[in-house]
Chain A
Amino acid sequence: MRNISLVFERIARPVSLVLVLLFAVSALQAQDVKEGAKLFKANCSTCHKVFGKLTGPELAGVNERRDEAWLLKWIHNAPSVIASGDPIAKELDAQFPNSTMTAFPQFSEDQIKNILAYVKSEEDKKAAAGADGATGGGGTAGTASSDVNNFMIIGLIAVIVLAFVVILVLNKVIRTLERVITSNKDLIPQPVAQAPGKDYVAMLKRLAKNKKLVFFAVLMLIIFLGSAGWKTLWNVGVHEGYMPVQPIKFSHQLHAGVNQIDCQYCHGGAYKSKNASIPSANVCMNCHTGITASEKYDGELSPEIAKIYRALDYDPETMEYGPNTRPIEWVRIHNLPDFAYFNHSQHVVVAGVECQTCHGPVETMEEVYQYSQLTMKWCIDCHQNTEVNADNAYYEQLIAAHEKLKKGEKVTAALLGGLECGKCHY
């Protein structure tokens, strides 16, 4: 026993020393990697990903692909390397004809090495995760699920056993009761033969004779049906609260709320025309060429974003668009009848009405529903209370006309816009 502890002590000392040293070195490296990660995110991630092509080539394996001296030179000032006629640089330039690697003269050699260390560490992480997935990772997941299974199986067995016990006990009780009944048949008084329904009928007949009660029952029924009917009729054709299922689970809460993208970014038509316009899919792609929400789907492309790609026939691997586009058929929520003219730009630009005034807190809606009634009464209520901002050219003309009237001058139809083409030729 003593021998063993001595041996252990002898081994433990150098091992702990090595561990401490290793830890110190890895801490230093971690610092480098952290610094590199920061620089990478701020400067490189616009065009490069560690895994997968973006505007520039995939960076995984770059430390093996090129030697360090060349990388330092290249990252410092790529355009000059291309100009110098370097064969690798020329080949890269030919591969990416529409973009050239940005020059980063502000980076020190150490900073570039840190970035490369970060790329390497990401590769190691992925390799480790891959190995884990094959062995360790699978193991832990397995135990976790088997825990659940064990618990469920034990629970199920307990429930079944309990059910058996209850059945047995009940059976016994029934048998004893039957025995008691057969032995004491004469003692039990026979129930008076009477149909169970007759009782109620008799009671109802008695109540029906009470005229006051009947009156109140009818009154209540009328009030109930009347109010329910009234409400239903008023809501015919009113789509307030209408929240159809859309072809893509697009969350306004995420895009307008959390990301703070202005309504106008996608629905710019509201500021320029009658329609608020549904954005075409190229507007989605302004962000979703880069954003794939893969962290939510274990590194896979989000199935909802995949629907945009399908609509555009876009291949995320090659980053190219194909010819087989097909529209995304969004379901219209806000639909004014065609006999009512409504113009978005008039309300948003001229009157300065906020989108939320009519559409509600869209920036908090996971799924959009119709917030307002969009009935004629709803329009009129707002129009009766909204003050007009007379500070524009249209009212200047009217005010000028009034001034003329006050002075007793002649006011012609032309002054009030009577020469506008649309007045006659609409």
Chain B
Amino acid sequence: MNRKNFLGAVSAAVAIAAVVAACGEKTTRSTRWEFSRNMYDPIGYNPDQPNNNFKDGKTAQTPPTGTTPVGFERFAYVNTVQDYERAGAELTNPLEKTEKVMAEGAALYQVYCAVCHGAEGRGDGSITKDRELVTKSERRMLENFPPPPSYAASDSINSSRGGAMKDLTDGKIYHTITYGVNLMGSHASQLSPEERWKVVMYVRELQKK
């Protein structure tokens, strides 16, 4: 065994070790070895965690009926056509129209509305168009979401609750975001009242297109 052999043996060992170390699945179904798991589990309850202290086993509880959480704004109109009309007549946007608020409204609109309503509110959002899903196991066209009516004045489309889409008032748009209408669901859980008014401001802008 000379020096050359020695070096050869060492490099072979290192190579084997490196290959073994690099091997193995990229993803696993288990968390593998853990040390003191209890340090990872929270003592306090996370909102999405099961919780035996409540009857329904959930940590995230809805407030008892008749109570109002701190900082929660109640909307004085219910989900009926009459209250929709009433909100449309009585409510105006409480936010001051500034460039900053408008930009925030536009950003929120792009996230929460444009998927269906389209970047300019013409009812041509990404999920209303033809899309193809390609995965390892399948290749198929996805179902198109029915396109919502356009807000734009140039398209002159009517609302399902009467009047033209371009003439929807602040209160009507706010009511619709809060309760949803037809196929559109309520977005109240995703947008706070203030955020809803920001979106309303931007939608009013889109109506002029």
Contacts and interface: CB of A to CB of B under 8 A. Distances in A.
B29 A244 contact: yes
A337 B50 contact: no
Interface in B27-70: 27-35, 39-44, 46-48, 50, 57-58
Contact of B17 (A100, A228, A243, A253): A228
B103 interface: no
B99 interface: no
Contacts of B33: 232, 235-237
A316 interface: no
A287 B145 contact: yes
Given A241-B25, A241-B27, A289 B183 contact: yes
Interface stretch (A112-120, A149-157, A186-194, A213-221): A213-221
24 contacts: A43-B149, A45-B146, A46-B160, A47-B160, A47-B182, A55-B160, A103-B158, A216-B1, A223-B13, A223-B17, A224-B13, A227-B20, A232-B33, A237-B35, A242-B31, A253-B135, A258-B132, A264-B111, A275-B48, A287-B145, A332-B48, A338-B41, A338-B42, A369-B26
Contacts of A417: none
Interface of A: 41-43, 45-47, 54-55, 79, 97-106, 212-213, 216, 219-220, 223-224, 226-228, 231-232, 235-239, 241-245, 251, 253-254, 258-262, 264-265, 268, 275, 277-278, 280, 282-283, 285-287, 289-296, 327, 329-330, 332, 335-339, 366, 369
Interface residues of B, number: 75
Contacts of A262: 110-111, 115
Most buried by A among B34, B46, B140, B143: B143
Interface stretch (B89-97, B167-175, B184-192): B184-192
B118 to A, nearest CB: 12
A114 B70 CA distance: 55
A138 B162 CA distance: 48
B190 A228 contact: no
Given A54-B182, A259-B127, A335-B40, 19 more contacts: A47-B182, A97-B80, A99-B181, A106-B157, A219-B9, A224-B13, A231-B21, A235-B32, A236-B34, A239-B32, A242-B30, A244-B29, A259-B115, A259-B142, A264-B111, A282-B185, A286-B184, A287-B127, A339-B39
B126 A259 contact: yes
Contacts of B136: 366
Contacts of B157: 106
Contact of A282 (B111, B142, B145, B189): B189
B147 A42 contact: yes
A45 B43 contact: no
B112 interface: yes
B154 interface: no
Given A98-B80, A235-B32, A369-B27, A261 B140 contact: no
A237 B34 contact: yes
A386 B185 CA distance: 40
A366 B183 contact: no
B159 interface: yes
A38 B182 CA distance: 20
A280 B28 contact: no
Contacts of B187: 286
B43 A338 contact: yes
Given A45-B146, A223-B14, A265 B115 contact: yes
Contacts of A259: 115, 126-127, 131, 142
Nearest to A212: B1
B23 to A, nearest CB: 10
Contacts of A245: 29
A244 B149 CA distance: 41
A179 to B, nearest CB: 51
B148 interface: yes
Nearest to A228: B20
B183 A268 contact: no
Contacts of B147: 41-42, 45-46
B156 A106 contact: yes
B48 A278 contact: yes
A336 B42 CA distance: 9
A290 B21 contact: no
Contact of A102 (B21, B35, B158): B158
B140 A265 contact: no
B18 interface: yes
Nearest to B159: A102
Contact of A224 (B20, B115, B185): B20
